[in-house]
Amino acid sequence: DAGVTQSPTHLIKTRGQHVTLRCSPISGHKSVSWYQQVLGQGPQFIFQYYEKEERGRGNFPDRFSARQFPNYSSELNVNALLLGDSALYLCASSLDPGGQPYEQYFGPGTRLTVT
């Protein structure tokens, strides 16, 4: 079975540009979450989407936005890129947020470098 897929795998952008990252969850999973991981740190929560609605948002500026499509895939958009946005962006999917424990499965990530 296919796991969580993300595209692209690597991306290089310059300051001020915009970027769109994509994620497809595990088949049957309806919830997608996005995380940012900078070197030496654990992943930081950015957004959670469930049934195409935003259910949670972390402490990230409004330059970060996301959406979920009817097929449960998702996009993360970042505007006006800053050097500090350079990180590994991880997408995670889960079957049902109401289930316990709430297990999430991660994709391979998109490594974004801002120059």
Give the interface with other proteins as residue ranges (CB under 8 A). 31, 33, 35, 40-45, 48, 50-51, 55-56, 58, 90, 92, 94, 97-98, 100-109
Considering beta carbons, is residue 67 or 108 the nearer one to other proteins? 108
Tokens, residue 30: 């309806």
Residue placing its CB nearer to other proteins in the complex, 54 or 63: 54
How many Cβ atoms sit within 10 Å of the Cβ of residue 72?
21
C-beta of 25 vs 107, nearer to other proteins: 107
